[in-house]
Amino acid sequence: MIVAILILFFTSLSVEAQKFKQPVLISSAGQSADVKLVKMLAQRQGLNATTILMAKSADLTGFKTLIIVPGFSSKGLGAAGISQQEEMERVKALIKSANDLKIPIVMIHIGGSARRQGQSDAFNQIVAENSKSMLVVKQGDEDGFFTTISKAKNIPLTLVVKIAETEIPLGNFFK
Amino acid sequence: MRKITLQLIVLFALVFNAGILGQSLPQSTGRNGIVATAHPLASAAAIEMLKSGGNAVDAAVAAAFTIGVVEPDGSGLGGGGGMVIYLKKEHKSYFINYYGRSSERASEASFKSGRDNYSGKAIEVPGTVAGLLMAHEKFGSLPLSKIMEPAVRHAEDGFPIDQTLAKLILDNIDNIMSDSVTASVFLENGFPRMEGELLLQSDLGKVLRTIAEKGRNGFYEGQLAESFVEGIRDRGGVLTEKDFSSYQAEITSPLNGTYRSYDILTSNIPQSGISLIQGLNMLENFDLQASGHYSESAKTLHIMAEVEKLVYADRYQFLGDPDFVSVPVAGLTSKDYALERYNSINQSKLDPPRYRDADYGNPGAFDKAFRKEPALVMEPAEGHTTHLSVIDKDGNAVALTQTLGLFFGSGQTVSGVLFNNAMTNFSYNVENVNYMQNGKRCRTSITPTIILKNGNPFLILGSPGASRITTTLIELVVNVIDFGMDVNEANLAPRFYCQKFEDYLHVESGINPEVCSELEKMGHQVKVYNGIDLFFGGAQMIFVDPITGEYSGSADKRRGGIAIGY
């Protein structure tokens, strides 16, 4: 707990978390089940949020913030009936549309080491680099993957120790 | 701090404990015994038994109980399985079928696939305890309490969650959250436990202690069985105390076949060793070596994919519980039938253009005992399992595969036991051989297998992966026998998967892209998976060098297991 508080303290010192507006669209990049947990976190914080696992450009209408939860899952892709390549094309198109519409993207990476490297990192990278703020469970950044992107692109990064600890910073994004 | 301390203890034990593993890092070769499982702690448990003077069956049973604790997503006391045992001195082999059986009242549950997958309705009578204890009683040599000690220890003291389990908890969050007791084990404050955290299963530890003390009856009768029945009933199921008390594992001969000059001992029906034999019989008619490895030859991959597709078409049509339906075993394993099926393959293009339009054959023409031909219906493609392979210093060998059905089974935990959802394996079309009936065993893909060369163990293997099991095993066998790969090369080689009820030819990216392009020209729709992927199973293999007698093992990197020898 102390470690978690310290991490939150120092990361909040290093960058000032940006504020975002509601309503919020939550989507996945890689179709992992992590997006369901972020949906739960958003509900706990009472956010006006809609979750569309395979959101497309047209789904952005009316939303003021896009939260993308990256993480590859072959099970999720199988359930969605799409290939990894098709998913990547969808994600790229969604990001481009959000940027064109000036809808800020928030990346939330909660899967820790289970959603790093392998097929996940291509999704992690493209979402992180295009985000306006990143909220990451620290285990997913043990090699500095997100920290490096944060510094290179000057994107605020908030690190927490446990998944449950993402709830408060998530809520603070919208206060 | 406790988490880190325990991780260090486990790591220290694995690497430096001479009593378990010798003085150095785990070996994957040996002359006194070797084991390959999906988790280091299960492999260590098996080696501990071998070093204590136990035989391959002692080691396999210890590993099987332990893997149910440390890989709780794939198998456990609430599931079922099968094992092939080869006893070198007697030159005898056995198959123990300990897959579950539907309740005597199963039809009253009105189970609906999809809707009820994660409920008490999906639960069959679990067979793991009966099967493992039968193997130990008939062939083991160490006391049961000794064999079960590692499983009890890891349940009660906990173990660090590895990356595979952490990922599976995340991937299967809906299933886990379907039951508050299951959620209390795998979640903390409603969110998944992560890699490196300690997983404690104290209630499961108590059940394991009861089994160690009271044997089979401690699980299938009395207070524990009563609590299972009540808990399952509260979750919508219909299992009865009679279902538990009457459950029996079955011991028979394994199903026998041959491939080139090798003898195959594999799981008997309604498990899927028959499909492995049929597929290899068909491939005997094709010169794989001359055509080249499937990762570099579109023709080889096309032929193998077509063989796999036809094997699945037959499997769905003919394989069911022999207590309920007539299965043309002699026909499906006939070399003549295999040749007929092989000759039906168009060698240059996909024909018919959709896998789904592939017809089943007529093995009944090669099988005088076969009685009828029911209709064809697909079964769920999901399903997740675990496999372990063991051989001891005397050459006794065990191939063991066990499962909970889907990952984390039904998601329902009662009195510490996470129960299966094997009811999802049945067909619910009355015309199908695998149609759900009361007290029936469902068809299952599991295929524990031992391959002999000149009467001696040569290859011990198996894999999880639901409908991918048969294709994975066919590919592993040809990698070793036809392409001369060692077990690690064979296991790491890229895989592919094709079957009747699929629209895509699934391939790992190690398959040459030019091969994929050529396959698409032949009519296949290719779906590429980057790198290696758990989708294609997690094989655990042991190879016995026919000249030197040295053992070498391989645990599949797709699954995070380990082979240990000494």
| Residue B240 shares a structural domain with residue B262 | no
Give a yes or no: residue A13 inside a domain: no
Domain total of chain B: 2
Number of Cβ pairs < 8 A linking chain A and chain B: 67
| Residue B236 shares a structural domain with residue B256 | no
Q: By CA distance, what is B162's nearest residue in A? A: A114
Q: How distant is the Cα of B198 from the closest Cα of chain A, in angstroms?
A: 14
Domain total of chain A: 1
| Residue B246 shares a structural domain with residue B308 | no
| Residue B212 shares a structural domain with residue B300 | no
Q: Are strands B262-266 and B526-529 parallel, antiparallel or unpaired?
A: unpaired
Give a yes or no: residue A116 inside a domain: yes
pLDDT by residue for chain B (566 residues), tens digit each? Answer: 343 333 433 443 443 333 333 333 445 889 999 999 999 999 999 999 999 999 999 999 999 999 999 999 999 999 999 999 999 999 999 999 999 999 999 999 899 988 999 999 999 999 999 999 999 999 999 999 999 999 999 999 999 999 889 999 999 999 999 999 999 999 998 899 999 999 999 999 999 999 999 999 999 999 999 999 999 999 999 999 999 999 999 999 999 999 999 999 999 999 999 999 999 999 999 999 999 999 999 999 999 999 999 999 999 999 999 999 999 999 999 999 999 999 999 999 999 999 999 999 989 888 877 765 444 444 444 457 899 999 999 999 999 999 999 999 999 999 999 999 999 999 998 888 999 999 999 999 999 999 999 999 999 999 998 889 999 999 999 999 999 999 999 999 999 999 888 889 999 999 999 999 999 999 999 988 888 888 899 999 999 999 999 999 999 988 878 999 98
Of B166, B527, B528, Cβ closest to residue A114: B166
B114 touches chain A (CB under 8 A): no
Sheet of B526-529, strand order: B496-497, B505-508, B526-529
CA neighbours within 13 Å on the CB side: how many for B91? 5
The CATH number assigned to the domain holding A165 equals: 3.40.50
Residue from B385, B413, B424, B472 carrying the catalytic annotation: B385
- Tokens at residue A103, please? 């809808």
Give a yes or no: residue B433 inside a domain: no
| Residue B67 shares a structural domain with residue B145 | yes
Tell me which chain A residues have a C-beta less than 8 angstroms from the C-beta of B171: 32-33, 73, 75-76
Give a yes or no: residue B543 inside a domain: yes
CB contact at 8 A, B28 and B557: no
Q: Which H or E run includes A25?
A: strand A24-29
Q: Which H or E run includes B565?
A: strand B562-565
User: E-assigned strands of B462-539?
Assistant: 496-497, 505-508, 526-529
Q: How distant is the Cα of B171 from the closest Cα of chain A, in angstroms?
A: 5
Give a yes or no: residue A15 inside a domain: no
* B297 CB neighbour count, 10 Å cutoff: 18
| Residue B119 shares a structural domain with residue B211 | yes
Give a yes or no: residue A47 inside a domain: yes
CA neighbours within 13 Å on the CB side: how many for B162? 17
Of B173, B196, B530, Cβ closest to residue A119: B530
Q: Decide if B195 and A112 are in contact by the 8 Å CB cutoff.
A: yes
**Residue B385 a catalytic site member:** yes
Tell me which chain A residues have a C-beta less than 8 angstroms from the C-beta of B190: 40, 164
- Which residue, B20, B12, B123, B3, is CA-closest to B564? B20
A140 touches chain B (CB under 8 A): no
Q: Decide if A37 and B173 are in contact by the 8 Å CB cutoff.
A: yes
The residue segments making up the domain with residue B101 are 2-81+94-250+394-423
